[in-house]
């Protein structure tokens, strides 16, 4: 039953972890490589090369951001060239040269990241109607993108929201096929953890417990595992505005730094939480749909769920379904975040948001359990 329970690696005392992880220093487990080959149409060698490229870009990004200074306009990974691209504002030749010296490519743009973040912050203060799905800063387009649910663009409330958003600064309107929703589910026997009649997925082990999605349970609520034995309680939970929570682990349960592969792929060791850039590959593990991969599409996106807006989310092209909420998003061996919600499914495709892991760790003063 071990493979049917945990995505973060908390195990009942009667079970023994059998993660079959990649060897220390290897770029990824065989399972992660297999998932990337399946979802990206890559060979094993191409998947390994992509992970190596993304690891380098992730390491370069903080240095390039610092080099750009006030001229920084955002960054993303160009999958075709394999290089991190950094936007700098017009007239910043010195900043551009400093960025190039880090090994990153440079694109000149009109607006700085600080300016665009300020535009998004002004839009965050607006009350969004149900026909508006989300909004985020797009560094490649150098604008704030407002996503309107397909077929709702002519709605009076949507038009009024878009007009107010445009007044805040540079805005581009795009359409999304469906309204965003969270991915909690009703009770299904044998799956990872339960809060009442809600089933969700564990995200990542932290010292003393695990992190997951806030909409899965409120502070103080009890949590049981796949075998319905008691694990612990929600020690902190925030939803909406945020979508994160953490649960303490006790009563004979413990934590390990592993994201499980559900018997479909090999399990993956978690070695850190360096944030992958836009354009990087990312994979998700959840109790309903198991392993799926995609790319990072946007960061710091505000998502307008029916329960209320959730801010600072990362959007991906990875699919998910009810019950996957709270599960692990990982890039290579680096933890990225916990599954919140999205649209679509894993039969026809869709998009999914996660709440970044480092925000959760900082909010609750937690330490990620790493290998």
Q: Which residues of 46-192 form beta strands (DSSP E)?
A: 72-78, 83-89, 105-109, 132-138, 143-149, 171-176, 181-182, 185-186
Percentages of the chain per state (helix, strand, coil), in multiples of 5: 25, 40, 40
Phi then psi for residue 350, to 5 deg, are 165, -170
* Contact of 228 with 196, CB cutoff 8 Å: no
State how far the Cα of 342 lies from the Cα of 324, in Å rounded to an integer: 11
Buried/exposed 324-355: b ≥16 CB within 10 Å, e otherwise = bbbbbbbbbbbbbbbbbbbbbbbeeebbbbbb
Structure tokens at 356: 């970044």
State how far the Cα of 77 lies from the Cα of 44, in Å rounded to an integer: 20
State how far the Cα of 51 lies from the Cα of 61, in Å rounded to an integer: 15
Collapse the DSSP code of 49 into the 3-class scheme (helix H, G, I; strand E, B; otherwise coil) and give the result. Answer: helix
Which is nearest to 145 in space by CA: 339, 296, 351, 298? 298
Q: Does 138 qualify as catalytic in the annotation?
A: no
State how far the Cα of 355 lies from the Cα of 341, in Å rounded to an integer: 10
Structure tokens at 133: 């799905």
State how far the Cα of 210 lies from the Cα of 90, in Å rounded to an integer: 45
Catalytic entry in 39, 138, 191, 243: 243
Catalytic entry in 111, 215, 290, 369: 215
Q: Does 111 qualify as catalytic in the annotation?
A: no
Catalytic entry in 273, 325, 331, 340: 325
Residues recognised as catalytic: 215, 243, 325
């Amino acid at each position: 039953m071990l493979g049917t329970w945990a995505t973060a690696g908390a195990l009942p005392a009667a079970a023994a972890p059998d993660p079959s992880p990649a060897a220390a220093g290897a770029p990824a487990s065989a399972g992660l490589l297999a998932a990337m080959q399946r979802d990206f149409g890559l060979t094993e060698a191409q998947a390994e090369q992509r992970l190596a490229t993304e690891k380098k870009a992730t390491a370069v990004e903080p240095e390039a951001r610092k080099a750009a200074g006030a001229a920084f306009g955002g960054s993303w990974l160009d999958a075709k060239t394999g290089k991190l691209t950094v936007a700098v504002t017009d007239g910043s030749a010195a900043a551009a040269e400093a960025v190039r010296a880090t090994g990153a490519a440079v694109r000149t743009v009109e607006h700085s990241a600080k300016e665009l973040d300020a535009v998004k912050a002004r839009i965050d203060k607006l009350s969004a109607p149900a026909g508006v799905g989300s909004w985020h800063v797009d560094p490649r387009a150098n604008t704030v993108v407002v996503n309107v649910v397909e077929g709702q663009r002519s709605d009076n409330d949507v038009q009024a929201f878009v007009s107010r958003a445009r007044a805040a600064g540079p805005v581009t309107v795009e359409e999304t096929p469906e309204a965003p929703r969270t991915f909690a589910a009703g009770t299904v026997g044998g799956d990872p953890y339960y809060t009442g009649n809600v089933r969700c997925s564990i995200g990542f082990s932290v010292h003393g417990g695990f992190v997951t999605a806030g909409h899965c349970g409120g502070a103080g609520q009890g949590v049981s595992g796949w075998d319905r034995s008691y694990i612990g309680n929600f020690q902190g939970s925030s939803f909406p505005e945020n979508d994160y929570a953490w649960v303490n682990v006790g009563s004979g349960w413990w934590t390990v730094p592993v994201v499980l592969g559900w018997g479909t792929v090999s399990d993956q060791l978690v070695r850190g939480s360096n944030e992958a850039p836009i354009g990087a590959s990312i994979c998700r593990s959840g109790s309903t749909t198991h392993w799926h991969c995609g790319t990072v599409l946007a960061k710091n996106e505000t998502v307008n769920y029916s329960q209320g807006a959730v801010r600072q989310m990362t959007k991906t092209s990875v699919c998910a379904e009810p019950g996957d909420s709270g599960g692990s998003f990982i890039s290579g061996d680096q933890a990225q975040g916990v599954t919140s919600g999205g649209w679509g499914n894993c039969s026809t495709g869709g998009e999914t948001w996660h709440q970044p892991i480092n925000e959760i760790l900082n909010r609750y003063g937690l330490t990620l359990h790493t290998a």
